Amino acid sequence: MSLNPPLAWQGALWERLVSEYGQNRLPHALLLSGAAHIGKKHFAFAVAHRLLCHCESTLYACGTCKGCLLNEAQTHPDLAILEPNDAGKKVIGIGEVRELINVLSKTSQQGGWKVAVIAPVENLTISGANALLKTLEEPPGKILMLLVSHELGRVPATIRSRCQRYMFPLPNASEVLPWLAQNGVALDKAAQVLKVARGRPLLAADYLKESLLDRVAQFDQWVDDVASGQLSPVSAAQKCHNADALEQIDWFVQYIHRMVCLNVETCCSPENFIFYDKLHKARGWIVSGANANKQLIWEELFFDWHTLARGLAKAQSAS
């Protein structure tokens, strides 16, 4: 965890925070909500590090005082962080919430703020969320809780109503592209990847690291080959089986979208929309994590796609 300032597109929200801080109007809990991969957690840590920095005159954490050095080493005793752990456990349970409350209720060891980051807050179990309510209602002393949410609808109303909301909009490409291009990436490539990442800058940055465009091209080729009969649906499903299914379903949706845009007359058929709907349903099964058999899901999708593509080819040759 390095002490980075807020991201290039977060200037307005940072100004709001600085203004509230300057007027002593900073609440005890902020709910940072918006789409995933746009930098809300980054912002939360930028706020936490600024509050725990001992330097009064800098806009961001100074990076050199004792508070900053403790944060740099990830050992600041007045910063409590709750995240799903690396072992694949997605929920944040009551035991972890109680530990956090315990840290917040003690006297600040560095004599200033005590800060908590919970990301994402929708991953709290019901009992975990309930355990947090009392601290949100009666905060013990000078504390700030930063609750990050990618899916606000999943955050209990009892928590939402006790926090001040900071909404993070999807940033404008004009603010994101120079940031994406800062490591020597060409602007047109950055724009292409940002589009594939549906405007989410941190996802686009990950994609750039992983040569995403090559992987998308490979996936599109499999879809083309299933359509033409050169690749069987079962073989295509096997190729997809071990990769990130959600990512690939997004690419399939984009493939269909491009196809419809290119051939509006023949592609605006009910069958096409039914298939589009199936892709979204498949996405839902995978997101639900209910032991979905990915191989079977992909086989069914590719069988349906092969049938649909043959029908479209016939319609196009007849028109």
Give the footprint of Zn ion on this chain (CB under 5 A).
Answer: 53, 55, 62, 65, 68
Give the position of tokens 């109303």: 157
The alpha carbon of 168 is separated from its chain's Cα centroid by a whole number of angstroms, namely 12
CB 68 → Zn ion: shortest distance, Å?
A: 3
CB 196 → Zn ion: shortest distance, Å?
A: 38
DSSP 220-283: HHHHHHHHHTSS-HHHHHHHHHTS-HHHHHHHHHHHHHHHHHH-HHHH-SHHHHHHHHHHHHHH
- Closer CB to Zn ion, 144 or 308, in the complex: 144
Sign of CA dihedral 203, 204, 205, 210: positive
Extract the runs of DSSP E, i.e. beta strands, from 164-223. Answer: 164-168
- 124 C-beta neighbours (distance < 10 Å), count: 25
The alpha carbon of 195 is separated from its chain's Cα centroid by a whole number of angstroms, namely 15
CB 48 → Zn ion: shortest distance, Å?
A: 12
- Closer CB to Zn ion, 70 or 80, in the complex: 70
- Closer CB to Zn ion, 112 or 140, in the complex: 112
- Closer CB to Zn ion, 49 or 150, in the complex: 49
- Closer CB to Zn ion, 65 or 103, in the complex: 65
Residue (of 148, 3, 154) closest to 84 by Cα position = 148
- Closer CB to Zn ion, 58 or 263, in the complex: 58
CB 54 → Zn ion: shortest distance, Å?
A: 6
∠ CA 256-233-196, rounded to 5°:
30
- Closer CB to Zn ion, 60 or 219, in the complex: 60
Q: Is the peptide bond before 120 cis (omega within 30 degrees of 0)?
A: yes
CB 4 → Zn ion: shortest distance, Å?
A: 13
- Tell me the C-alpha distance between 304 and 297, whole Å: 11
CB 129 → Zn ion: shortest distance, Å?
A: 33
CB 80 → Zn ion: shortest distance, Å?
A: 19
